[in-house]
Amino acid sequence: MNKKGFTLIELLVVILIIGILLALIIPNFVLFQERARRTSVKNNMHVIQTCLEAYATDHNGNYPSSDADWTDNEDIFYAYFPGGDPIGTDGSPIYGQAPINPYTGMRYNIEDEDLLYMYDALDEPGMNSSVRSDDDMCPYFDLEAENDLQGSIEVLGYIPDENPLEVVQEYGICGYGRDVTEPMFDRDEVNEAFIYFVLHN
């Protein structure tokens, strides 16, 4: 009775095929992970935009002033995050939960994960909507993450000079993916420019 089995060459061929398949699949898997994280950052940016608009609704159309401290998770702005209530009970607001940074798994208001609110980063009205790197007015070109943290989110604000209360009237929200030296962007191959993914009022 003859026992048939795999020869050494057949086993090597199977191992070679599996190795080739893995070499093709693994790079794509890494890209899928990065795309998922970038999408999560974009969703977090939408959450922040919703909070800003809700805050403005309760404050006569004004966005947080230069006195806002987003490094403090008991700043009134955090009452507008999911789970929060600016009215609360007994006159005390209930503070919500900031989103989670998909790159680190930490909430944005913990230690180095702070949301960055740069209220004086825009010099002129309309700059918040300039999102092309070939536009001289674009404030996001070469804008590095302040904390050098992947997944960080920054809110740039414009305050008019004649505004004594230093209230932000325009804002632009940008987020960072794997590269902390540039906000997230799509490349315009025709004009050889970056189009940044930015949310603004």
Average pLDDT over residues 49-68: 90
Q: Is residue 87 part of a domain?
A: yes
Q: Is residue 14 part of a domain?
A: yes
Handedness of CA 144, 145, 150, 155 (dihedral sign): negative
Q: pLDDT band at residue 103, thresholds of 50, 70 and 90?
A: very high
Task: State which residues form the domain around 126.
Answer: 8-200
* Residue 87: both structure tokens together: 């009215």
Residue 44 has pLDDT above 90, yes or no: yes
Q: Is residue 1 part of a domain?
A: no
Give how many domains the chain has, as a whole number: 1
What single-letter amino acid sits at 78?
Y
For the question of whether the overall pTM of this predicted structure is more than 0.85, the answer is no
What pLDDT was estimated at residue 28?
67
Q: Is residue 3 part of a domain?
A: no
The candidate with the shortest Cα–Cα distance to 102, out of 145, 40, 54, is: 40
Q: What is the pLDDT of residues 111-156, one digit of tens each?
A: 778 888 888 889 899 999 999 999 888 999 989 998 899 999 999 9
Q: Which of 24-28, 44-48, 89-93, 149-153 has the lowest mean pLDDT?
A: 24-28
Phi and psi based region of residue 61 (left: phi greater than 0; alpha: psi -120 to 50; beta: remaining):
left
Q: Is residue 177 part of a domain?
A: yes
What pLDDT was estimated at residue 153?
95
Which helix (H) or strand (E) covers residue 118, if one does? strand 116-122
What pLDDT was estimated at residue 3?
63
CA distances from 41 to 38, 53, 61, 70, 191 (A): 5, 19, 26, 18, 26
- For the chain, the first-to-last Cα distance in angstroms comes to 81
Q: Is residue 2 part of a domain?
A: no
Q: Is residue 109 part of a domain?
A: yes
* 76 exposure class (CB count in 10 Å sphere: 0-12, 13-18, 19+): middle
What single-letter amino acid sits at 4?
K
**Which residue matches tokens 């070679």?**
16
What pLDDT was estimated at residue 48?
95
